[in-house]
Amino acid sequence: MKFTKMHGCGNDYIYIDGAVEKIADKDKPDFVRKISDRHFGVGGDGAIFINPSDEADFEMEMYNADGSRAEMCGNGIRCVGKYVYDKGLTYKTDISIVSCGNVKYLKLFVKDGKVDSVRVNMGSPQLKPELIPVIANEEKDIVINEPITVCGREYKMTCVSMGNPHAVVFMDDVDNLDIERIGPYFENNEKFPKRINTEFVKVLDKKTVQMRVWERGTGETLACGTGCCATVVACILNGLTDNSVTVRLLGGELLITWERENNIVYMTGPAATVFDGEYDYK
């Protein structure tokens, strides 16, 4: 099976042309677990199949490293844009990609014949607790700065969905955070019926934040595009930043803008190809 290893700010996935490489849906979770293994497989935060679509130019079918299906990945969708342009599947620089029924619109920025960076219209943030989903402490329309107890310590979370669920936690220090210890407890907390992606954020100034992320089904990753979008929405809701913010990640930086008048979040960042290869799946 032919594949391409790609990453956005270090958030790496294995990309497969689903129109060419055929694998049964029932076999995909096992396949993804094996190919994502960093010791016995190719290694990645998961796998993404790029399929034909009647709803958009292409479909992104995304899986986490544990084989579970995921709704959206901001870094992943930028790489899908680069994949389809660089490999000649499209010659357009304005394209649409659907994932789990949600269509996103991409602007591809080309340099020397290859896509260098991508701007994605990530749509509107979802703040209603039942649609994230999160079980709020009280009946309310939005979960902002709400207490949650994890490992015996109280944190404050702001919850946002960008097509997938996020809990944003503001902290004074993220460099020394023991994320491997507390990440799983956030992910599997009873407040999150579908588990949760957790962003641990330090606000540096009105235009810059630092973020580490624990992604459900994968663990800590070097970047999370939807997590950056959720983080900036949470920053603005809490009055901590301007509407356009640079998010510093372990793997690089993303520029996130929440256009409040249209209620649209835009994400701009790099996409890179690491290598092409063939994988013998048995």
**Catalytic residue numbers?**
73, 224
Q: Nearest Cα to 252, choosing from 210, 189, 207, 201?
A: 210
Burial class (CB in 10 A: 0-12, 13-18, 19+), 244: middle
Phi/psi at 178 (nearest 5 deg)? -85, 75
- Residue pair 225/78 in contact (Cβ under 8 Å)? The answer is yes
Q: What's the CA gap between 12 and 222, in Å, rounded?
A: 9
**H or E element, residue 26:** none
Q: What's the CA gap between 150 and 241, in Å, rounded?
A: 26
Q: Other CB atoms closer than 10 Å to residue 282's CB: what's the count?
A: 3
- Residue pair 254/76 in contact (Cβ under 8 Å)? The answer is no
**H or E element, residue 219:** strand 219-221
- State the angle between helix axes of 225-237 and 74-86 in degrees (0 to 180), rounded to the nearest 10: 140
Burial class (CB in 10 A: 0-12, 13-18, 19+), 200: buried
- Residue pair 106/69 in contact (Cβ under 8 Å)? The answer is no
